[in-house]
Amino acid sequence: MNAEQTNTGGMLRNTWAFLNTHPAVLHVEALTPKVAALGRVVARLDRLADVQTMPTEGDTVERRATFEALTNVSLAVAGPLLSYARSHGLIHLASLADVSRKDFRLLRQDLRAGLAQRIYNAAQPLQGELQSYGITAGVMQELHDCIARVKETTAASRGLASDKCIATLGIKQALAEGAELLGQIDPLVLPLRWSNPDFHARYCIARRVFQRGGARRRRPETGDAVTASGGAAQSVAAAA
């Protein structure tokens, strides 16, 4: 979430926490379902924020080691395969096996498995003949496993990236729902300004949006409630 969304989300959380624990809410029958609905919005907002803040790259050290292993094993197969192709005058096979570490580094990570797969596919039908060049069945199996791990890693990253995009949209929707609920709660709280001024004052404090990492908004006067969208202060008293 950006700073404004974080601040607004904090206000929604504070407001719900206050209403959910204050006994005065029980005396206003219409407030109870609104507070419960606000709690569900806050819970959803927290879940979405957790998804949005997950690192897309996962464990960087482990991820780097996975791709480095793919490159090393691919080159361990490609080198002898290129030598075999040249000694037998197999021009097409030589072109498939003629790769370097730089070729892997220049490719996007999600494309490197494709290059490794090309090497594997070229060598696989010749395993018997490549034994004398050092390409054993164990080496081929290691390359196969490396390719599978890299594909799994890149697929997981793409899936998480999609989840983060969905979470971003969900956060906007949750904040909008929270703002709508507060617009329904404010008029129900307003009468308590006179019958229970302490409760009303504390509610107004919970409704303030505090700026973290930037300038603070104008501090509302007692009885004011800041809109959930972070706009100008809206006087609850004006609704009377």
pLDDT, tens digit (0-9, with 9 covering 90-100), for 129-157: 999 999 999 999 999 999 999 988 887 77
pLDDT at 128 over 60: yes
Q: Are residues 135 and 187 in the same domain?
A: no
What is the residue range of 18's domain?
3-55+178-239
Q: Are residues 189 and 144 in the same domain?
A: no
Give kind and range of the element (H or E) at residue 13. Answer: helix 3-21
pLDDT at 224 over 70: no
pLDDT tens digits for range 63-100: 888 999 999 999 999 999 999 999 999 999 999 999 99
Q: Are residues 153 and 69 in the same domain?
A: yes
Cβ atoms of 97 and 85 within 8 Å: the answer is: yes
Q: What is the per-residue pLDDT for 56?
A: 58
For residue 75, being part of any structural domain is answered with yes
Token output for 199:
């409760």
For residue 117, being part of any structural domain is answered with yes
For residue 166, being part of any structural domain is answered with no
Q: Classify 219 as helix, strand or coil.
A: coil
Q: What is the Cα–Cα distance from 33 to 24, expressed in whole angstroms?
A: 14
Q: Are residues 19 and 103 in the same domain?
A: no
Q: Are residues 47 and 70 in the same domain?
A: no
Q: Are residues 79 and 136 in the same domain?
A: yes
Q: Are residues 18 and 87 in the same domain?
A: no
Asked which of 131, 161, 191 is the last residue of a domain, the reply is 161
Average pLDDT, the chain: 83
Q: Are residues 75 and 148 in the same domain?
A: yes
Q: What is the per-residue pLDDT for 159?
A: 66
Token output for 175:
């904040």
For the CA atoms of 62, 63, 65, 71, the dihedral, rounded to the nearest 10 degrees, stands at 160
- Number of domains, the chain: 2
